Structure formats: C-alpha cells, structure tokens
Amino acid sequence: MLVIERQLSAHAPLPPPAGGSSVEFDVELGELERTEGVAQDTRARSAAHTGAVNAELQQRAYPLTFGLAVHAFVDGIAMGSAALSASGTREDSAQSRAFVAVFLALVVHKAPTALALTTTLLSTSLPAAECRRHLAIFSSMTPVATLLSYAVLAFVGGGGGGWESVALLFSGGTFLYVATVLQPTLAHAHEEGGEGGRRRLLVMLAGIATPYLITVLLPEGHEH
C-alpha cells in the first residue's frame, strides 16, 4: 500500500506552467491596453489557482490531525494501562518500572510531535485560531484517554496487564502511517518525482524493515 501510494504521488501530473511574457517595443496605445488586460486576467487566474491550492491543503490538514489524535489517544490507553498495572505494587517492581518507562517515552516525544503538527498546519495556510483548535484536540487526547482507560480497566477488573504493549504497538503503527502517507501529501510529493522519489521510497522501506530484520537475525537471550 505504501509503495503504491508513493508511486502514484510521484507520477501525479504537474500543474501547467504559467505562460511567459515578451517585451515589445513601439507598441500602440490599443495594443498596450490589451496587454494590460491580459496581464490582469492572468493575475486573476493565478490568484484563483492559489486559492484552490490553499483550500486543498487545508482539507488535507484534517486527516493529519485525525491521525495524530488517534495516535495520542492510543498513547493515553497505554499510559492508563501501565498506571493500573503499577498501582498497588511495590515501588521497585517490574510494573512500576514499566510505567515509568512508558511515561518518560510518551512525555519526551510529545513536544517534538506537537511542534511538527503546528508547523505543518501553519504551512497549509490555516488560520491561527484553527491551528490552535487542531493542536488543542491533539494535546487533550492523551490525558483524556489515560483517565478513561484507567477508569474502564479498573471497573472491569482487567488489571491493565498486557494492554500497554498492544496499545504501544498500535500507537507506533498509526504514527508510522501519518509520517509516511499523510504528511507527505502536504509536502507537495509530486515535486520529488524521478530518481529522488524512488531513492526516498527505498530508504523508507529499508528503515521499516531494519527493526524486523534485527529481531529475526539476533537470537533471543543474546548477551554481550
């Protein structure tokens, strides 16, 4: 799916270039007026095209925010599950250490993710108020999901065991999808066609496959 998406983006048709203008000397007054009329018409068409492009970019910003909001919500589920597993146990237990590790991992990567979302939204010509609304939705997902998952798992007596691992896997998958599929659509992916686009695709696929190959090639329980 990723390969097809990237190839279709790389071969998307480019918008037609704007026509050039030639300088002519000794033009008559009527010709000059007609030339000015053509220039005004060209500027009007250019403004309309720019407005259409901005509108398209603004529409593409919503799937990006939705994807990161889902990612943040699943992070909150992992946090709530880890907190429930650590509650009622000794401070130096494995559950407590797992909760601290999950908490630190989520806190450290939230700031860069929020910064990346903000700069991407601003590049789509969204109004500042709309960008703040998108950022507020993204920022609220993790704490809301943390409290909600903790309450639900405590009520049903799930104990939180194992849920944080599944949630973190799903969270990583959603973030990978946003980074490799949704975000490039906002970066004019058709401008990276040819060898540059194929090279980037190969590097991306190699990065995706590297962790899996490491886990397959290295035996379990390997000690240095």
- Report yes or no on 86 lying in a domain: yes
Asked if 86 contacts 95 with a C-beta cutoff of 8 angstroms, the reply is yes
Cα dihedral across residues 44, 50, 51, 52: positive or negative: positive
In a domain, residue 44? The reply is yes
**Domain boundaries, position 112:** 30-189
Domain-located, residue 91: yes
The alpha carbon torsion through 24, 25, 27, 33 (nearest 10 deg) reads 50
Residue 214 lies inside a defined structural domain of this protein:
no
pLDDT means over runs of 10, the chain (224 residues): 52 48 46 55 51 59 87 90 72 68 82 86 84 92 92 76 77 80 59 61 79 74 48
Instruction: Record the tokens describing residue 82, joined without a space.
Output: 């880890």
Report how many domains make up the chain.
Answer: 1
Per-residue confidence (pLDDT) for residue 94, from 0 to 100: 67
Q: Which pLDDT score is estimated for 19?
A: 46
pLDDT of residue 53: 45
Task: Give the model's pLDDT for residue 197.
Answer: 63
* pLDDT confidence of residue 105: 81
What pLDDT score does 7 carry? 55
Q: Residue 224 gets which letter from DSSP?
A: -
Q: Is 209 inside a domain boundary?
A: no
Q: What is the pTM of this model?
A: 0.60
Say what the pLDDT of residue 148 is. 93
Residue 158 pLDDT: 61
